[in-house]
Amino acid sequence: MLKAILVISDGMADRPVKELDWKTPLEAAHKPSLNQIAKTGINGILDPISPGVPPGSDTATLALLGYDALKVYSGRGALEAIGSGVHVQPGDVAFRCNFATANEKGIILDRRAGRIENKDATKLADALQKIKLKKPSNTSFLFKSTIQHRTVLSIRGPKLSTAVSDSDPGKNGEKPQEIKPLDNTSEAKQTARIVNDLLHDFHKTLEDHPVNAERAKHGLPQANTVLCRGAGIIPNIKPLQQLFDIHATCVAAAPLVKGVCKAAGMQILNVKGATGTPQTDYTAKAKATVQALKNSDLVLLHVKAADVASHDGKAKQKVEVIEKIDGMVGYVLNHVDLGSTYVAVTADHTTSIVTGNHEGDPVPITITGPSIRCDNVKEFGERTCAEGGLNRIRGKDLMPTLMNLIGKTEKFGA
Amino acid sequence: MLKAILVISDGMADRPVKELDWKTPLEAAHKPSLNQIAKTGINGILDPISPGVPPGSDTATLALLGYDALKVYSGRGALEAIGSGVHVQPGDVAFRCNFATANEKGIILDRRAGRIENKDATKLADALQKIKLKKPSNTSFLFKSTIQHRTVLSIRGPKLSTAVSDSDPGKNGEKPQEIKPLDNTSEAKQTARIVNDLLHDFHKTLEDHPVNAERAKHGLPQANTVLCRGAGIIPNIKPLQQLFDIHATCVAAAPLVKGVCKAAGMQILNVKGATGTPQTDYTAKAKATVQALKNSDLVLLHVKAADVASHDGKAKQKVEVIEKIDGMVGYVLNHVDLGSTYVAVTADHTTSIVTGNHEGDPVPITITGPSIRCDNVKEFGERTCAEGGLNRIRGKDLMPTLMNLIGKTEKFGA
């Protein structure tokens, strides 16, 4: 039976940089396994959303799974929440939140409350969950800490909207912003009011909480404020199972990517040692992928590391990370049956080590497998792949392309 | 700060022709500066609208500015009017008109009334503007001469439509056509009636006007008829300022292109010596562009000349014009900071010197700049660029591509 592995290396694509003799980090890296795929496969460039548009990892992953992100994207909060294992129902409006440290004037000193440890964060979150939502009476909330300062706030009720602004100012040295409705609906106004009231109550409870008194005693930053951003609901999308009649599995550490995969109905594997950082256990992820393929038609193997190096502006680290990813891909190539498995490698977006930002440049894509129109490309890279047989495609076209190769697309017409 | 220059050479793209040893005029031209951009940049081909669709300069320019012309295009008349400096409000239905010469049977002898000089045209237009619109009473009109025989008629009122046909038969030797509603709405019917009535009244006033008596005395063709075409309203589009947070400037002579740029909220420069003909002052336009870039994020430099040569079927003249445009681009390259400026060159459409028409073939596009994935293309041309790293994009994708390079696109997602 034909199967497919899709490796998404987060933020791997880049622009040529002086520091690497005007090569991109991908071009500069030693990458025999990625080159093997390019050499034996078909290559191209891919616009995750459309030319010039810098995608987030959430919209790009939605697109790479075959969805029209411009139509179905419904905010970050709920995706990250379900990716963190928090139960969010369709219709719940969820926010990504942080425990933060504010001074007596309310100015944020540390958006991450000293990266507060899980134990303290859990106790504080439990205390906040006990607060009674004053009104409306038919509305409730869920507040849960996930890792360190990271928490999720999810509101459940009949008249809610994601059209509200963030309270998180995005940097230290400023006060939290009042959450504002972003349109004129009563839903947006009510949602903003509920969350503003809650954050106010959270603050009061946190100020008086013994955990914070204890932290103060030990000279630790107090987690006395909650910052919210990225209001979202679970996107209304059909699961991959229904679209392509496949069982699909996700091997990823980043909660946002896991959330997108969960929304797409994929099975989520939690791999020991997978951290979403350059220090992740690449081999463990490769092994998990090989293992998962036994019971899956498709395995998505996502690695966050190259994006982290890019945001930090570290060219050499990005090259090293890509070389580790090459090793991970090599393990996969050596342990799956290439007579029945298609392996595709791409990035979810370009992240420039110069700007430190997601950019709208296309990403390279390579696909090898048992029955493919292989082209003359010999190396995997942003510019070499642009000469390949796939030419230039959109992110949402990749999944049908892969599903077509493994015989999982339906004929349109007679 | 990063900036961009977009050079649009109107109708420059072509097909290989026997007269040029089966080269295109662009391929046949000596063009060191255009080749310099191609050699140091990224190249591709671009479908202004979509493959095979011959665009007008208005729809193509809308697309190259990032708009979906298929959705926002609302006719030529209002664009040309505002590009000629005529005040047209949103909702006004405007026509491009000509003073023309008809014989006693009403047959058009000269669609341009001997390219009547501005002085006479202005006097006649003033006389026509004094006519009272009979009905409906809540509707008014504006009639203004622009250059030579060219005039604008703009109707203002509550129940108007652009769904009306032209009175201009498009060639000499025929009678003006009755303007007809193109759909069943009362707005279209009323607009057709208003304009038919007006044109009838215009004819009577022109026949009796002393300017025409004087022209007859000197053996000049009488401007005794007004021909209308291209009913349009100003397109409902967001300005570039709002879409990309940029200040954008247009250096162009062609009223239609200036109108599109004005509708996009761009600053319009009037350059002395810029005529919209092959005899235009190329250096003056280049200088204006360099100057404008000082206070702009984006300068659009439009040159009409290659299109004029194409419509006239003059291969050698088209080659010469392209060589002059190359010199103009060379001036720009030598006078801007290439460490912070992206320079793109393309055409708005293919114009065939054989057919004399706009054609639906794609156009070449080249972009150079400080941080770009340069490819292996060495020469700027229709066929060489097809091998470049941009592959094949749509007109509306060019502006996001450029804005992405200068850091002016917003991330979609998180």
Would the pLDDT of B354 be above 80? yes
Calculate the alpha carbon distances from B141 to A314, B72, B136, B413 in Å: 64, 24, 11, 48
Q: What is the mean pLDDT of residues A152-163?
A: 95
Judged by a CB distance cut-off of 8 A, whether residue A363 touches chain B is: no
Mind giving me the DSSP string for A80-106? HHHHTT----TT-EEEEEEEEEE-TTS
Identity of the residue in A51, A56, A58 whose CB atom sits nearest the CB atom of B401? A51
d(CA A301, CA A9): 8
The strand pair at B248-251 and B267-269 is best described as parallel
d(CA A277, CA A321): 10
Beta-carbon neighbour count of residue A218 at 10 Å? 6
Calculate the alpha carbon distances from B13 to B24, B65, B261, B269, B320 in Å: 8, 19, 22, 26, 14
Calculate the alpha carbon distances from B284 to A4, B236, B291 in Å: 59, 33, 10
Which residues in A lie closer than 8 A to residue B373 (C-beta atoms)?
15-16, 24, 361, 382-383, 386
Confidence of residue A297 (pLDDT cuts 50, 70, 90): very high
**Alpha-carbon dihedral sign for residues B7, B268, B320, B55:** positive
d(CA B250, CA B300): 5
Q: What is the mean pLDDT of residues A240-269?
A: 97
Q: What is the pLDDT of residue B136?
A: 81
Q: What is the mean pLDDT of residues A375-398?
A: 98
Beta carbons of B413 and A24 less than 8 Å apart: no
Q: What is the mean pLDDT of residues A375-385?
A: 98
Disruptive mutation site among A21, A50, A365 for chain B (greatest number of B CBs within 10 Å): A50
Calculate the alpha carbon distances from A408 to A49, A247, A395, B45, B148 in Å: 23, 11, 18, 33, 65
Write the CB contacts of B208 (distance below 8 Å, at least 6 apart in sequence).
none
Would the pLDDT of A394 be above 90? yes
Beta carbons of A57 and B414 less than 8 Å apart: yes
Judged by a CB distance cut-off of 8 A, whether residue A57 touches chain B is: yes
Which residues in A lie closer than 8 A to residue B403 (C-beta atoms)?
52
Query: What average pLDDT is seen over chain B?
Result: 96
User: Which has the closest alpha carbon to A300: A358, A328, A261?
Assistant: A261
Write the CB contacts of A7 (distance below 8 Å, at least 6 apart in sequence).
A301, A302, A303, A325, A328, A329, A332, A343, A344, A345, A346
Backbone torsions φ then ψ of B104, nearest 5 degrees: -65, -20
What is the least distance, in Å, from the CA of A156 to any CA of chain B? 23
Angle in degrees, CA B139, B142, B143, rounded to 5: 140
Which residues in B lie closer than 8 A to residue A355 (C-beta atoms)?
407
Strand partners, B153: B95, B143
Q: Of all helices (H) and strands (E), which one includes residue A288?
A: helix A282-293
Q: DSSP H helical segments within B264-350, as ranges? A: 282-293, 305-311, 315-335
Angle in degrees, CA B359, B361, B364, rounded to 5: 120
State yes or no: ipTM above 0.90: yes
Least confident of A340-349, B26-35, B141-150, B381-390: B141-150
Which residues in A lie closer than 8 A to residue B371 (C-beta atoms)?
15-17, 352, 354
**Alpha-carbon dihedral sign for residues A124, A126, A131, A135:** positive
d(CA A111, CA A114): 8
Judged by DSSP in three states, B283 sits in helix
d(CA B30, CA B382): 15
Q: Considering only the C-alpha atoms of chain B, give the largest distance between any 2 of them, rounded to a whole number of Å.
A: 75
Instruction: Answer whether A355's CB lies under 8 Å from B408's CB.
Output: no
Q: What is the pLDDT of residues A190-207, one digit of tens each?
A: 999 999 999 999 999 999
Identity of the residue in A56, A387, A392 whose CB atom sits nearest the CB atom of B414? A56
Q: What is the pLDDT of residue A137?
A: 83
Disruptive mutation site among B342, B391, B403 for chain A (greatest number of A CBs within 10 Å): B391
Judged by a CB distance cut-off of 8 A, whether residue A268 touches chain B is: no
| Residue B252 tokens, joined | 């162009």
Which residues in A lie closer than 8 A to residue B402 (C-beta atoms)?
52
What is the least distance, in Å, from the CA of A212 to any CA of chain B? 31
**Alpha-carbon dihedral sign for residues A377, A381, A383, A389:** positive
Beta-carbon neighbour count of residue B90 at 10 Å? 10
Beta carbons of A391 and B391 less than 8 Å apart: yes
Q: What is the pLDDT of residue A134?
A: 81
User: Which has the closest alpha carbon to A199: A210, A188, A187, A191?
Assistant: A191
Beta-carbon neighbour count of residue A135 at 10 Å? 10
Identity of the residue in A56, A57, A392 whose CB atom sits nearest the CB atom of B391? A392
Beta carbons of B401 and A360 less than 8 Å apart: yes
What is the least distance, in Å, from the CA of B114 to any CA of chain A? 48
Q: Is B375 exposed, middle or buried (0-12, 13-18, 19+ CB in 10 A)?
A: buried
Q: What is the mean pLDDT of residues B160-182?
A: 96
Judged by a CB distance cut-off of 8 A, whether residue A396 touches chain B is: no
User: Residue A1 has what DSSP assignment?
Assistant: -
Chain A residue with Cα closest to B403: A52
Instruction: Answer whether A233's CB lies under 8 Å from A82's CB.
Output: no
Q: What is the pLDDT of residues A22-77, one digit of tens each?
A: 999 999 999 999 999 999 999 999 999 999 999 999 999 999 999 999 999 999 99
Angle in degrees, CA A306, A308, A309, rounded to 5: 65
Q: What is the pLDDT of residues B104-131, one digit of tens each?
A: 999 999 999 998 999 999 999 999 999 9
**Number of A–B residue contacts, CB under 8 Å:** 92
Would the pLDDT of A179 be above 80? yes
Q: What is the pLDDT of residues B255-297, one digit of tens each?
A: 999 999 999 999 999 999 998 889 999 999 999 999 999 999 9
Judged by a CB distance cut-off of 8 A, whether residue A195 touches chain B is: no
d(CA B241, CA A83): 37
Instruction: Answer whether B194's CB lies under 8 Å from B243's CB.
Output: no
Mind giving me the DSSP string for A165-221? --S--SSTTSPPPPP-BSSS-HHHHHHHHHHHHHHHHHHHHHHT-HHHHHHHHTTPP
**Alpha-carbon dihedral sign for residues B66, B70, B71, B77:** positive
Instruction: Answer whether A247's CB lies under 8 Å from A297's CB.
Output: yes
Query: What average pLDDT is seen over chain A?
Result: 96
Helix (DSSP H) and strand (DSSP E) numbers for chain B:
14, 15
Chain A residue with Cα closest to B43: A386
Strand partners, B98: B150, B227
Beta carbons of A386 and B399 less than 8 Å apart: no
Q: What is the pLDDT of residue A136?
A: 82
Judged by a CB distance cut-off of 8 A, whether residue B372 touches chain A is: yes
Chain A residue with Cα closest to B392: A392
What is the least distance, in Å, from the CA of A383 to any CA of chain B? 6
Identity of the residue in B388, B392, B414 whose CB atom sits nearest the CB atom of A76? B414
Identity of the residue in B373, B402, B409 whose CB atom sits nearest the CB atom of A54? B409
Which residues in A lie closer than 8 A to residue B391 (C-beta atoms)?
45, 386, 391-392
- Give rounded-to-5 percent helix, strand, coil for chain B: 35, 20, 45
Beta carbons of B404 and A354 less than 8 Å apart: no
Would the pLDDT of B135 be above 80? no
Judged by a CB distance cut-off of 8 A, whether residue B413 touches chain A is: yes
Q: What is the pLDDT of residue B82?
A: 96
Judged by a CB distance cut-off of 8 A, whether residue A383 touches chain B is: yes
* Gyration radius (Cα) of chain A, Å: 22
What is the least distance, in Å, from the CA of B71 to any CA of chain A? 17
N-to-C CA span, chain A: 25
Q: What is the pLDDT of residue B3?
A: 98
Identity of the residue in B397, B404, B407 whose CB atom sits nearest the CB atom of A361? B404
What is the least distance, in Å, from the CA of B248 to any CA of chain A? 18
Give percent of chain B above pLDDT 90.
96
| Residue B188 tokens, joined | 């279209």
Identity of the residue in B392, B397, B411 whose CB atom sits nearest the CB atom of A50? B397
Judged by a CB distance cut-off of 8 A, whether residue A393 touches chain B is: no
Q: What is the pLDDT of residues B64-94, one digit of tens each?
A: 999 999 999 999 999 999 999 999 999 999 9
User: Which has the closest alpha carbon to B405: B315, B357, B343?
Assistant: B343
Identity of the residue in A16, A51, A355 whose CB atom sits nearest the CB atom of B400? A51
Beta carbons of B375 and A386 less than 8 Å apart: yes
Confidence of residue A331 (pLDDT cuts 50, 70, 90): very high
Judged by a CB distance cut-off of 8 A, whether residue B397 touches chain A is: yes
Would the pLDDT of B147 be above 90? no
| Residue A363 tokens, joined | 């990403």
Q: What is the pLDDT of residue B276?
A: 87
Chain B residue with Cα closest to A72: B413
Q: What is the pLDDT of residues A203-254, one digit of tens each?
A: 999 999 999 999 999 999 999 999 999 999 999 999 999 999 999 999 999 9
- Cis geometry, peptide bond prior to residue B136 (ω within 30 degrees of 0): yes
Mind giving me the DSSP string for B201-230? HHHHHHHT-HHHHHHHHTTPPP--EEEEEE
- Touching B: A residues 292-311, CB under 8 Å: none
Calculate the alpha carbon distances from A79 to A69, B150, B206, B382 in Å: 13, 58, 70, 45
Judged by DSSP in three states, B164 sits in strand
Instruction: Answer whether A56's CB lies under 8 Å from A394's CB.
Output: no
- Cis geometry, peptide bond prior to residue A136 (ω within 30 degrees of 0): yes
Give percent of chain A above pLDDT 70.
100
Query: Which pTM was predicted?
Result: 0.93
Mind giving me the DSSP string for B9-73? ETTBB---BGGGTTB-HHHHS--HHHHHHHHHSEEEEEESSSTT-PPPHHHHHHHHTT--HHHH-
Confidence of residue A323 (pLDDT cuts 50, 70, 90): very high
Judged by a CB distance cut-off of 8 A, whether residue A58 touches chain B is: yes
